């Protein structure tokens, strides 16, 4: 492959410390590999080279594309992998939170704090941010959940971690920085490694930037990245290193300019969108491909009309690959059910299962309790909302005693008997409902809306977001002829089919490209996401990453109504 002038200038640079700013489709991985090949050809021993990237999968791919000969190879890995290697030299065996230990810690948090698994995930991210902010002596931490809940979670997490003698990734990185306070140890590492190459530089977090500053003081440093594609703030990624590179590393920035992926109008439109961000390098975005294809902005009345239009476009079979992209995982469920109904094959790129979210699981448990007399399901929903059912009664039911006999025991007071009789009557009423109405029946008649409000109050979760998920469940349920079909569908394995049509969150397709891209739900509250309005620049970057996946054609949909509520077109849709 022949490189352009900017790519050649980048990989042949004589500068000691360089950041190559590489827009979408500009061939950054090729430049990184050419640089690696070049410095080895100049006589640098591979064992003195460290090649770092954001994910283990990317590191494996980079190593597979490496064409060096001989048994001595550079180190290919993530910064976490490098830190593990560094710390093992200093401390010997290290045990990380992984596998069974990770499962046990997550399960304890979920059980003792009565949290959904998704909320355990966000709590763990908050713990990670807290550790980083504490080490850096920064105080601007914004927690997802209530302070008292976070404190309980943090104490429980740290107690379990220390009891088992484990480190998490943040502990690992912070401990490496502490070990580097030993000048002799740091010098030994620097002497062993003369060249450091870093891909996806924009995804480094503040601790990782400090580690790179330490290990690259007198080394040759070659970094590639694009702050406009920094979309992992929830993992701590910070584009500051891209902006302040010269100051932080006393280095120089070089710019790749040509997008070889997309048609000229897509490149130009993407440039118009992203230039409204302020935290970015000023750079020129040029299209290598001068042809112009369609960018279509569509404003259907609702999601159903949006999905019908997408199906019609796919059936034209004009391209070899299609992607339907959305901001959050739960948005994908309705798309999947619609495509199944339309008999359009698709490949789901994420491992997310909508039916495993706690709201969907609760609704399904109500159905199992009503239709299948499922005792375990009954025990899981009987106090959602709280119905004052005692642990003693629940234990008896769990051991097999008759549910009706326990709840309608004449020894109970009149109020309890009246309420329990109402509950059993309303639970059996589920069997009279169609799938279109059954979720709303559980919400209104059986009081599940009350449970969601109390959950939001207890945890600090956004109440509107919880009810949006319940609305999603209503619309997914409506695709099935009866509730038993819905139960069957909920146990179906995720798709692994190879197909022309890919479904994914925007985060799941970073680095990929498709002939035609459909960006759905480009409305306020979805893209940008309602919970992330304090970080609009990151939300704009997510939209930018979505539209720059398109090679030939781009469709952007902004439905007027979602879940019966009127929505405003996204501010990102220019």
**Residue positions forming the annotated binding site for ATP:** 22-29
For the chain, give percent helix, strand, coil, nearest 5: 55, 15, 35
CA dihedral 20, 21, 26, 32 (to 10 degrees): 30
- State the Cα–Cα distance between residues 517 and 502, nearest whole angstrom: 9
Strand partners, 557: 298
Q: In what order do the strands lie in the sheet with 75-77?
A: 75-77, 49-52, 195-198, 220-225, 17-21, 252-255
- State the Cα–Cα distance between residues 121 and 117, nearest whole angstrom: 6
Q: Which residues contact 218 (CB under 8 A, 6 or more apart)?
A: 190
Cβ atoms 186, 214 nearer than 8 A: yes
Q: Which residues contact 348 (CB under 8 A, 6 or more apart)?
A: 332, 336, 494, 495, 502, 503, 504
- State the Cα–Cα distance between residues 406 and 403, nearest whole angstrom: 5
Q: Which residues contact 157 (CB under 8 A, 6 or more apart)?
A: 105, 109, 124, 127
Q: Please choose, from the candidates 399, 363, 356, the residue with its C-alpha nearest in 3D space to the C-alpha of residue 380.
A: 363
- State the Cα–Cα distance between residues 353 and 359, nearest whole angstrom: 12
- State the Cα–Cα distance between residues 1 and 29, nearest whole angstrom: 13
Cβ atoms 477, 486 nearer than 8 A: yes
Beta strands, E only, 95-242: 195-198, 220-225
Q: Please choose, from the candidates 520, 509, 521, the residue with its C-alpha nearest in 3D space to the C-alpha of residue 549.
A: 509
Going by the annotation, the residues of the binding site are: 22-29
CA-based radius of gyration for the chain: 27
524's tokens: 């306020």
120's tokens: 């355990």
Q: How far is CA 264 from the centre of its chain?
A: 30
CB atoms near residue 363 (< 10 Å): 26
């Amino acid at each position: 492959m022949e490189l352009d002038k900017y790519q050649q200038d980048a990989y042949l640079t004589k500068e000691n410390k360089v950041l190559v700013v590489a827009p979408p489709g500009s061939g950054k991985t090729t430049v990184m590999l050419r640089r690696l090949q070049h410095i080895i050809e100049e006589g640098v021993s591979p064992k003195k080279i460290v090649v770092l990237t954001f994910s283990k999968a990317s590191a494996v791919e980079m190593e597979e594309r490496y064409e060096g000969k001989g048994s001595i190879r550079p180190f290919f890995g993530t910064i976490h992998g490098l830190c593990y290697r560094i710390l093992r030299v200093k401390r010997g065996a290290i045990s990380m939170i992984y596998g069974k230990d990770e499962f046990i810690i997550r399960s304890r948090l979920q059980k003792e704090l009565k949290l959904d698994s998704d909320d355990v995930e966000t709590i763990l991210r908050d713990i990670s941010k807290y550790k980083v902010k504490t080490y850096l002596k920064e105080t601007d931490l914004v927690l997802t959940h209530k302070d008292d809940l976070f404190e309980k979670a943090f104490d429980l997490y740290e107690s379990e971690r220390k009891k088992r003698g484990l480190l998490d990734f943040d502990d690992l990185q912070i401990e490496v920085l502490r070990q580097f306070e030993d000048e002799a140890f740091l010098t030994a590492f620097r002497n062993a490694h003369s060249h450091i190459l870093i891909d996806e530089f924009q995804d480094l977090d503040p601790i990782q930037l400090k580690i790179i500053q330490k290990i690259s003081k007198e080394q040759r440093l070659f970094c590639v990245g694009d702050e406009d594609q920094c979309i992992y703030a929830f993992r701590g990624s910070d584009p500051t290193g891209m902006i302040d590179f010269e100051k932080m590393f006393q280095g120089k920035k070089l710019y790749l300019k040509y997008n070889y992926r997309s048609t000229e109008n897509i490149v130009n439109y993407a440039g118009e969108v992203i230039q409204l961000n302020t935290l970015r390098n000023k750079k020129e975005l040029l299209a290598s491909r001068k042809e112009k294809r369609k960018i279509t902005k569509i404003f259907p009345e609702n999601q159903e009309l949006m999905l019908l239009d997408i199906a019609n476009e796919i059936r034209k079979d004009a391209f070899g690959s299609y992607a339907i992209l959305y901001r959050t995982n739960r948005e994908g469920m309705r798309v999947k059910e619609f495509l199944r109904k339309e008999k359009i094959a698709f490949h789901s790129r994420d491992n997310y299962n909508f039916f495993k979210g706690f709201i969907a699981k609760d609704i399904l448990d109500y159905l199992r309790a009503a239709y299948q007399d499922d005792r375990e399901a009954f025990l899981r929903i009987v106090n959602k909302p709280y119905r004052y059912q005692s642990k003693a009664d629940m234990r008896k039911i769990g051991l097999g005693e008759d549910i009706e006999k326990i709840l309608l025991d004449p020894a109970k007071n009149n109020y309890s008997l009246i309420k329990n009789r109402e509950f059993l009557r309303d639970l059996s009423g589920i069997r009279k409902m169609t799938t279109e109405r059954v979720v709303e029946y559980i919400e209104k008649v059986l009081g599940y809306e009350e449970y969601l409000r109390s959950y939001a109050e207890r945890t600090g979760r956004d109440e509107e977001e919880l009810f949006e998920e319940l609305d999603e469940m209503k619309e997914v349920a409506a695709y099935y002829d009866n509730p038993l079909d819905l139960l069957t569908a909920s146990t179906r394995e995720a798709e692994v089919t190879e197909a022309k049509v890919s479904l994914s969150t925007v985060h799941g397709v970073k680095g990929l490209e498709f002939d035609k891209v459909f960006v759905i739900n480009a409305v306020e509250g979805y893209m940008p996401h309602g919970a992330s309005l304090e970080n609009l620049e990151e939300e704009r970057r997510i939209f930018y990453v979505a539209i720059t996946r398109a090679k030939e054609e781009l469709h952007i949909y902004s439905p007027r109504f979602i879940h019966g509520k009127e929505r405003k077109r996204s501010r990102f849709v220019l």
